[in-house]
Structures are given as structure tokens and as C-alpha cells.
Amino acid sequence: MKLYSYFRSSTSYRTRIAMNLKGLEYDYVAVNLAQDEQLNAAFKSINPQGLVPVLQSDDLLLYQSPAILEWLEEVYPENPLLPKDAIGRMHVRAISAMIGCDMHPINNRRILQYLRNELSVDEDDVMVWCNRWISEGFEALETRLAEDKNRGKFCYGNHPTFADCYLIPQVSSARRFKVDLNPYPNIVEIDTYCRKLKAFADADPMMQPDAPKA
């Protein structure tokens, strides 16, 4: 398999975590978003949206990280990332959607570049924008996590799930945008624990071949 990825892309990051948790090997194909390589004709022939990640499995091209994660779960059921029960799967998918639908999309590179370049929003106000939506999302998620008295070290239960694949990249983004994480002790606790696990550590942006070298 080949994973078309960018080191800092949250959607690529969550896909790398999921593939690592399932023990799947893949070739990393870097797509430099900072140089708009995703908009080149060569990449758009792979994904007309011009977005990463794209997972290539033989002749099959998979796009949109939620669909990729679901495909991985169906095709590679070992090391499951969804609970066995319907209620558990609902909770995991709901947490994932809180991040993947309501937080990440309005703070991703395309939106921020539009704010900067098309609307002439200065960098301080861009940071205010990011802080607003990440903090609002984390406040709701923190409440959900605190209410779950059966939660272990992860977002749901005692095993990593889709929800953790979504959360850890979002925490990385929060730190990059200087969000105060002190009001979210459960989120910080999950993030701290997950980052100690090899699957998460190996997926970290700075561990990728296209990450800036010190």
C-alpha cells in the first residue's frame, strides 16, 4: 500500500495512527502542501479534490480519512478500532465526528489560507479564529469524557479507537495554535498516554520523512 501524506496534515496523521495500530505497512508518498503540490495535475489525477490523504491499495484509490478508516476496519478486522457493541460504536463515531466534522475542517490549511490571502485577515486574528473553534470543541468533548465513568485511558473504553486517532492530531493542532489546554485535563491525560504508545509515536508529524530536519 501507498499513503499519499503530508507530515502536518491532521487527516493524514489520523490515518497513519490507524494503520500503525493495525500493524499495516505502507510506503509513504510525500505531498508538499506548503508548495501546493496537491493542486498539481499529477496529484489531481489521483484525487480530484486535491486533498490528502489518499491510500492506494493495489489498483484501488481510497480518499477521505473517515472512509479510509472505515475501510481499514472492514478489510483488516484485526486490532479493531471500533467497539463490538452498537452503542460503543456510536459513541466512538460521535467523538470522531465532533473533531472531524466540527473542529478540524474550519481550522485546516485551506480555510486559514483563505482567511489570510483572500480576506486579508492578519495572523493574530487567524490565531483567534483557531483558538475559538478548537476551544469550543474541546469544551464539549471534555464534558463528554468527564461524564463517561467507565472510560479507561482512551477516549472510549480501554483500547484505542477511531476517536483517539482523531483526537491526538487535533491536540497537536491545538498546541500549534497556542490553545490553552489547562481547562481540558481529560483530553490532556488521553493525549499524554497515547503519545507513549509506539503506533502513535511513529505517526507523529516530526517522525515523517517529509518533516523539517533540525
Task: Tell me how far the alpha carbon of residue 106 is from its chain's centroid.
Answer: 14
* Domains by residue range for the chain, with CATH: 2-79 (3.40.30.10), 86-200 (1.20.1050.10)
Name all contacts of 129-133 with Cβ < 8 Å and 24+ positions apart.
Answer: 130/173, 130/177, 130/179, 131/177, 131/178, 131/179, 133/103, 133/106, 133/107
Q: List the chain pLDDT tens, one digit each, 214 residues.
A: 999 999 999 999 999 999 999 999 999 999 999 999 999 999 999 999 999 999 999 999 999 999 999 999 999 999 999 999 999 999 999 999 999 999 999 999 999 999 999 999 999 999 999 999 999 999 999 999 999 999 999 999 999 999 999 999 999 999 999 999 999 999 999 999 999 999 999 999 999 999 998 6
Q: Give the CA dihedral 41, 43, 44, 50, nearest 10 degrees.
A: -120
Cα–Cα distance for residue pair 22/20, rounded to 1 Å: 5
Confidence (pTM)? 0.96
